[in-house]
Amino acid sequence: MLSTCTIFAKMDYKVFAPSRVECEVNLPASKSISNRVLIINALAGGNSEVKNVAKCDDTDAMVNALSNADVAEVNIGAAGTAMRFLTGFFAVQEGRTVLLDGSERMRHRPIKILVDALRSCGADIEYAGEEGFPPLRIRGKKLSASEISLRGNVSSQYISSVLMISPLVDGLERVKLTEEVISRPYIDMTLSLMRQFGVNTQWDGNDIVFEKGAEYKPLDYVVENDWSAASYWFQIQALLSDSKISMNGLFDESTQGDAALEQLFVSLGVKCSKEGETVVLSADCGSCAKTIEMDLLENPDLAQTIIVTLCMLERPFHITGLQTLKIKETDRIEALRTQLLKIGYVLSVGEDLSMSWDGTKCEPLDEIRIDTFDDHRMAMAFAPASVKFPGIIINDIEVVSKSYPEYWQHLLKAGFSLKEVK
């Protein structure tokens, strides 16, 4: 078994859960906020201090890209947020040419919608490989447009990338979002941060309207901790109802859409109370629903955690709003379906990409190995399944470094144990 000081390499581990957890967790800083603030701070001149920046692969990629002002090639690895945000950022860096590249998986993640939107206001971006995908060769220049239009029913990161550079686009009055707007809390997070740095906006239907002449102003900023990371502790509380878990650094008036965890997990039997910036979890089984209908359109990053939890609780469900899961680190819909099948849960996928479970089961594999597909959330969502399947194997557990590098150490401190699979 492993100690709490273990450094995790690219290995596979068996996970064993305790019968009860009582712990205090110092959550990682929000990478969603960190990455936005780092871009906005750089656009504002980069002279302010940003404290409590997330320490994870995604944010490290952003920090490295922004701190090397003269390099001609930037490789952000598997950091999807960095790819989208830096595409907009480099497009407005006048006189600078950058080749923006990533991992092999990143080269298969679409970016055409964002590139087309930026090109519409004069951006000089060409595909250095396959059309519609990274790598991108970006020649920074002055952009201008009165309006930028892009679809609202794709990744909110495309929209946030355009929004954050909007004060540097001459004459821009509005960003027009066509079709249904999904993941709106992430757009609202971006707008809130822009507002704090001096750029006011307002919604006009599906359009975002800008204040004329607004410019970013320097601002020292403290990043709050991550509600998405908190989801795995909500999951553990739901599966080990006798537990009591405290999490630090979560703001009461959070800009993070995943703060909706409080409401979403009520029907899974989790009670949430607050003491300052500490959130305390306990059981409230009287609030459990027998079947679950849930729309995660605004909280897609919670899908894996919630769906695995519901299966472990043997709770039939129908979850909608999962459209963006197919273009994440992996096709998360297919990954969930195939890996849950290994442990005996037969899920259905609808034409609208909703996922449901009606109680149908099959025999679980004798040795359960969960493939993570280079996806941090697959590893973290399936590890608590060890409550019901002791010794479940999580492959390539180091993938958690993308967003929550201390996840396994925190599990160990909470009483879980890990055993390396030779």
Q: Which residues are catalytic?
A: 301
Residue 147 to residue 38: CA distance in whole angstroms: 25
Cβ(208)–Cβ(191) under 8 Å? yes
For residues 69 and 177, give the distance between their C-alpha atoms in angstroms, rounded to a whole number.
32
| Burial zone of 9 (CB within 10 Å; 0-12 exposed, 13-18 middle, 19+ buried) | exposed
Rounded CA separation 49/63 (Å): 13
